Amino acid sequence: MTVDEVMTEVEKDRAFYRRSGGGMTVGGGEPLSQYRFAAELLEAARDAYLHTALETCGHAPWSHLEAVLRHVDLLQFDLKSVNAGKHKELTGQSNELILDNLKRLLTIKAPQDVIIRVPVVPGCTDSGENLRETARFVAGLGFSQAELIPYHRLGISKYAQYGMVYPLPDCKPSPQEHLDELRKIVKESGLTEMAGSI
């Protein structure tokens, strides 16, 4: 689709945005893999006086992220782990580029315009140690908000639809008590844990 075609669809819900205070969020996959299109689309939304948001894991050259951020009101930045070994184990990728981008964010975005989102996947990212290390790192950079994203199993049917093997067949969502403990860790680190995330 072209930017104009997407904006035609987005404009159909303008009345809803006005009532809810919402706008357009560009997510993925990873929208920075198509950063030029994402930047043009977000610029068009802003020109149409719509609130804009971007969801990213930040794994892209800084110049790509910077080009998109000029048109973003709210950034939701996913961060699995600040521990280099753990991140490599979980994703197969280094987190060096991600952390470098995170460190540079506050040169162009105010802390209140960035929400660091931590996926809480049992056996992967849900340890108190991982959350404590991640939250302290994020708070130390000057960010103020975090959102815990609990694991769910809604993707299983999609994997089956595409004939793919679901990588976590035995993984179950964390109990509420454990999520509450992780939420305390985030708050003790000096971050505001966003309401409604758990």
CATH of 79-198, one of 3.40.50.300, 3.30.360.10, 3.30.60.50, 3.20.20.70: 3.20.20.70
Tokens matching residue 163: 């004939």
Calpha distance 177→180 (Å, rounded): 5
Q: pTM of whole model > 0.95? A: no
Which ranges in 2-153 belong to alpha helices (H)? 3-11, 14-20, 35-47, 62-69, 84-91, 96-105, 128-141
Residue-wise pLDDT tens digits, 4-61: 999 999 999 999 988 888 899 999 889 999 999 999 999 999 999 999 999 999 999 9
Question: Can you read off the two tokens belonging to residue 57?
Answer: 């894991």
Q: How far is CA 42 from the centre of its chain?
A: 17
Residue pair 72/32 in contact by the 8 Å Cβ criterion: no
Say which CATH topology domain 1-78 has: pyruvate-formate lyase- activating enzyme (3.80.30)
What's residue 5's pLDDT?
Answer: 97
Structure tokens at 44: 């068009």
Q: Range(s) for CATH 3.80.30.10 in the chain?
A: 1-78
Are 38 and 32 in contact by the 8 Å Cβ rule? The answer is: yes
Judged against a pLDDT cut of 50, whether residue 197 lies above it is answered with no
What is the rounded radius of gyration, in angstroms, for the C-alpha atoms of the chain? Answer: 18
Q: What is the pLDDT of residue 195?
A: 52
Sign of CA dihedral 118, 124, 126, 128: negative
Per DSSP, 31 falls in state G
Backbone angles phi, psi at 145, to 5 degrees: -130, 140
pLDDT per residue as tens digits for the range 143-174: 999 999 999 998 899 999 999 999 888 999 99
The helix (run of H) or strand (run of E) holding residue 181 is: helix 176-188
Kindly tell me if the per-residue pLDDT of 71 is higher than 70.
Answer: yes
- For 93-147, the pLDDT digits (tens) are 999 999 999 999 999 999 999 999 999 999 999 999 999 999 999 999 999 999 9
CA angle 167, 132, 98 (to 5 degrees): 60
pLDDT at residue 196, as a whole number: 46
Provide CATH 3.20.20.70 ranges for the chain.
79-198
44-78 CB burial, b ≥16 within 10 A, e <16: bbbeeebbbbbbbbbbbeeebbbbbbebbbbbbbb
